[in-house]
Amino acid sequence: MTSIFPDLSRSVVTDLMLVLLLSTMATPKYKSKFLYIFVTTIILIGNVSANYYFYLTENYTAVFYVDFAMLIVIGIGLKPLFSDKIVQWIFSYITMLNFYVAVVILSYILRDIFPNPIYGIVYLRLILFSAIIVAFHKRVSKVYRKVLDYWHIYILPIASLLACFLAYFFSGDIEEILTNNYVPLLLLILLGLSVYVSIIRSLKTTTEQYALREENHIMEAEREYLKLAAGNMSRQLELMEKVSAQNSRASHDRRHFNNVLLELLQQGETAEAAALLQSQNAAVPKIIRAYCENPAVNAAVSHYAGLAERADIATEITLDIPGGLKVDDLELSMVVSNLMENAIQACKKLPQNRVPFLRFTSQSVGRLLLEIENPCAEDVVLDESGYPVSYEEGHGIGSRSVIAFAKKYDGELLYKSENGIFRVRLLV
């Protein structure tokens, strides 16, 4: 048993490192480590048992054939334990085979640097596999798992590399091949290293370009949201300006009306005075209330406060929003419109036993802080970024435009839904 102990040690180390390498490259599907440990144990027992006879006869060529067959079984049998797509799994599997062959070659050629070459192969395989696993984990794993749609491009060169390796290993006695062909084999390993360096570099470039393209798409979508919302707000402000002009004319006409009314009362014509009051009462346009100093925001707040009042929603509005802000007034008024509109819609969906209200406050001390609070029928679902999730078709554009506004001005946007109360806070 002592004479084959180095061979058994080499087999165990190789199998363990190959499974660990494949597990590092692929994405495990299950959380239970026991399952993977159990499968690895079965692989070890099966491979060592299959190789035991050939170790006794020192038939290392047969050992390689058995190991290669076992690796094929591993590639097929372990796939259900990992969540990688089939093309990415094939890439990882072929890469594992290439690393395996390269480590076998290097460990055989460099074994003499150790005092005991028999155990030197074991040490070298442990060192080389460990270096590959650590390098992959530290340098490659993040981009490796992000690129999922381009693996078919990279399979051809690594499959060709594996075919070149196997052409040597299946052409005769493995020890003679490693001894007589170590120079071309080392050159082939160097070629394989350059191939994988190029692939890794390509993966990083592809990932960066993909991320940049996604960011551009997001920015373009945000600009469209802002443009759409700003267009709606412009039309709304035009209406507010018309109403404001009507208010000015009404104030001017009211002075003349009061003079006529006073003259009728002085002459004792009370019936005519009462009729004049009744005819004018319905015609007087409502004057916009001054909620803040910023004209654009004030127009938006006035509009939606009126909508809330007509919907029997109690409003509590205390605003400190000056003119001449660092942010665009029109875009800010659009944000206020979206937030107030969302609050009003949420109040309209409340059951009859709940009292609707809209509380809107703001403070301006260096930066502008807006906060809106309203009841909601049920707690709002927030995504992983803390933003509201809308499952209804056509909804959510207003919220996305608010998010785009906050990002544009490097603001802080916080949504919170708790105990049937929804709050949104914006700091810009």
Quick one: pLDDT band at residue 250, thresholds 50, 70, 90? low
Residues linked to residue 415 through DSSP beta bridges, in sequence order: 424
pLDDT of residue 187: 92
User: Residue 284 pLDDT > 60, yes or no?
Assistant: no
pLDDT of residue 1: 45
Contact (CB, 8 A) for 280 and 257: yes
Question: CA 169 to CA 162: how far, in whole Å?
Answer: 11
Per-residue pLDDT reduced to its tens digit, 254-265: 666 666 666 667
Q: What is the mean pLDDT of the chain?
A: 79
Identity at 130, one-letter amino acid code? S
Question: 54 vs 58, 90, 127, 278, CA distance in Å?
Answer: 6, 30, 25, 113
- Single out the residue of 340, 360, 363 nearest to residue 236, CA to CA: 340
Alpha carbon 356 to its chain's center = 35
Average confidence (pLDDT) over 413-420: 86
Taking the CB of residue 262, how many other CB atoms lie within 10 A of it? 11
Question: What domains are there in the chain, each with its CATH number?
Answer: 2-180 (no CATH), 226-427 (3.30.565.10)
Question: CA 383 to CA 390: how far, in whole Å?
Answer: 10
- What pTM did the predictor assign? 0.52
- Single out the residue of 313, 423, 314, 413 nearest to residue 374, CA to CA: 423
Lowest-confidence range among 20-34, 74-88, 257-271, 291-305? 257-271
Question: Can you read off the two tokens belonging to residue 339?
Answer: 């937030």
User: In 267-328, which ranges are continuous DSSP H helix?
Assistant: 270-281, 295-310
Residue predicted with more confidence, 222 or 30: 30
Quick one: pLDDT band at residue 373, thresholds 50, 70, 90? very high
pLDDT of residue 314: 93
Identity at 232, one-letter amino acid code? N
pLDDT of residue 394: 44
Question: Can you read off the two tokens belonging to residue 389?
Answer: 């999730």
Lowest-confidence range among 141-145, 288-292, 420-424? 141-145
Question: CA 150 to CA 296: how far, in whole Å?
Answer: 50
- Single out the residue of 273, 278, 300 nearest to residue 288, CA to CA: 300
Question: CA 105 to CA 100: how far, in whole Å?
Answer: 9
